[in-house]
Homo-oligomer: A and B are copies of this chain.
């Protein structure tokens, strides 16, 4: 946790950098362990991603769709800081700010098993992140 799905067009050749930048942003803002990293990255034909502007009035070049599944408990402020940090760090690897789309889905500590069929936040093998988290 978090589990992050990343979808971008195959016009981008730096999937590894993109995924790394997103993870670094989460570590920096949420303070999770560096090895608390779970990502599924799909490079795909540009036509298989549709990302318009929701009426905000801008154009995208080559969108990166980021979907973050993680535990509830972060404040709105923490999330906003995270989104900004993701955009900043993606900028450093060639993703323009208008191309960064993020959706966030929450669950609880009982909703993760990191291996061995155990729910490590319930067994106490992993500490549950404090909630709510304020910055």
Contacts and interface: CB of A to CB of B under 8 A. Distances in A.
Interface of A: 1, 3, 7, 15-16, 19, 23, 33, 35-44, 47-56, 58, 60, 65, 67, 69, 76, 79-80, 83-88, 97-107, 110-120, 122, 125-126
Contact of A120 (B41, B56, B69): B56
Contact of A19 (B50, B102, B111, B119): B50
A111 B100 contact: no
A43 B123 CA distance: 31
| A contacts with B: majority SS | mixed
A111 to B, nearest CB: 4
Contact of A107 (B42, B86, B103, B113): B103
Given A100-B115, A104-B111, A105-B105, A52 B35 contact: yes
A116 to B, nearest CB: 4
A57 to B, nearest CB: 9
A38 B51 contact: yes
Contact of A80 (B101, B102, B122, B125): B122
B117 A100 contact: yes
A80 B122 CA distance: 9
Nearest to A67: B3
